[in-house]
Structure 1
Amino acid sequence: MLDTKRFIEFREKINTNIGKVIVGKKDKIDKLTVAFICSGHVLLEDVPGLGKTKLAKSLSKTINCSFKRIQFTPDLLPSDLTGIYFYNQKLGEFEFRRGPLLSEIVLADEINRATPRTQSALLECMEERQITVEGETIKLNKPFFVIATQNPVEQFGTFPLPEAQLDRFFIRLSMGYPEFMEEKNILDIYIDKDPLENLEAVISMEDIQYVQENYTKVHVSEDIKSYIIEIITATRKNNNVELGCSPRASLNLMKGSQALAAINGRDFVTPEDVKEMALPILSHRIILKSDLSTSMASTQELIEGILNTVHTPLEKI
């Protein structure tokens, strides 16, 4: 039996706590929570200064998980992420120096500034949940959650993520600029101190294990499954699309809809859940014919058009 109250409390605790640091972004925090529940990873695509690092740090404090931030640069090597074995002369033996990937929450800042080799090392860890150093396989911590950022405006000295690597991310989000009153509120709460410094954990490891292990118990009807597949198929058949969504997108859309339903207190998925998760889950998995663009605005417009044309199933109560 699914305890939806625990999911509601999980969502409310995260929203309230992170809301002390990040103002007016409850919808984005909900999507982040959904990705975390589904053990997915998040790509934050935005200009600098909109709170991406604050969001990642406040999440790690809220759920009481270890946190590491990696600034990606062209000279960053895969071993800088995974760690290395070095010879300890005092002990006369080799020791393993842990890399930042052996943390529970990892912020990969400006991932598109690293070379493809280093990008691949991170993305392999995201998929396999393990690293290999000197032939030895090391399992990553659980939970393991990556928030990667990239600046969509500054392209000088960057290595854009190819479609196959973008597909590894569960969702793509954009924080966006705050509204007038939201920005004024930011000035008020940061005027004399940084609220992140005093943020305390409100989520236990038991809470995390429960939501990650039980969200799949949310019922998905045959009509909803067909609805998801019809949306995915429409991305492959659209005349403006060079490359449509993969079966991984179908699975992620179903899982994301289940998690969204759970944090909203339901044990069944509705078409509205699918529609709400379609944009962040599918937008980075489509390449358009016109300019082979993966920009968020153009792909989201296409997905919205698909959602308006695909028949929405009626809810059966």
Structure 2
Amino acid sequence: MQLPDFQRLRRLRRTAGIRSMVRETELNATDFIYPLFAAHGSNVKEEIGSMPGVYHLSIDQIRKEVEEVTRLGIGAVLLFGVPANKDHLSSEAYAQEGIVQQAVRAIKEENPELTVITDVCLCAYNPLGHCGIVHEGEILNDPTLELLAKTAVSHAQAGADIVAPSDMMDGRIAAIRAGLDREGFLNIPIMSYSVKYASSYYGPFRDAAHSAPAFGDRKTYQMDPANAREAMREAAADVEEGADFLMVKPAMAYMDIIRMLRDNFDLPIVSYNVSGEYSMIKAAARNGWVDEQKVVLELLTGLKRAGSDLIITYHAKEAAEWLK
């Protein structure tokens, strides 16, 4: 039978070798940033109940974790702190002997070449669990900026390679850039959580960081999940103020936003594959509903295809092993 002319696109899918030759997006371990939760104490390795395989780690255990991260070829970690004490000025966030500052120094002693990124925020360090100073139920923007800058400087003094403000206060990038430059840290980049949504996917992380708000929510400073054009305004403001990386958080439900940033800005784009996304896959895999390896690698490939240069993911170690 004579068939009409049509394209035979399946020719390039016929064998594994051909598919590999024409594959457009490749994942590598160097694409990943692995989050770590630093805790006080000794010989502490406590699994976070809602995040199987993720732990609170004391400094001695973080040293061991760094060895494994390095072996797997992952080039960067993102540090969060779980403080021993909290107060209304979040003073452990910028204390010279704060838990993050101690962890940075330990990691740099263990492997000076590993890139250490520090989360800059106040929520885990104050009893009200908000990302800024609270006064009479209001999260104050401008008074918070000074403390964020002070926190970033303390991280740089400890040896952090990159600081990553996650608070979503207006003007924070300018304040942090000015603070770093004033103290001589002109070459420390800022990885801004530029587009951070008030998402329902953060629940397990709040267990991990002990940072759930004591009242209300974070909708007055984190973005409305319904908005996309606003994301471009947030990112443009951060670029103007001196950001060196732009981040989208969460990732799975926001691939359109990742693509919009990629198409509109020349800075490196980072996506944060957050705790809820991680835990959903873990739960489904444990129930035998999905093949964890295949689902995770498909998701991470999708994030890179959407425009991510770097991916923060709790799956980083597993994904690096699978890619080997």
TM-score range, shorter chain: under 0.3
TM-score (norm. length: structure 2): 0.26
Greater RCO (CA < 8 Å, at least 6 residues apart): 1
TM-score (norm. length: structure 1): 0.26
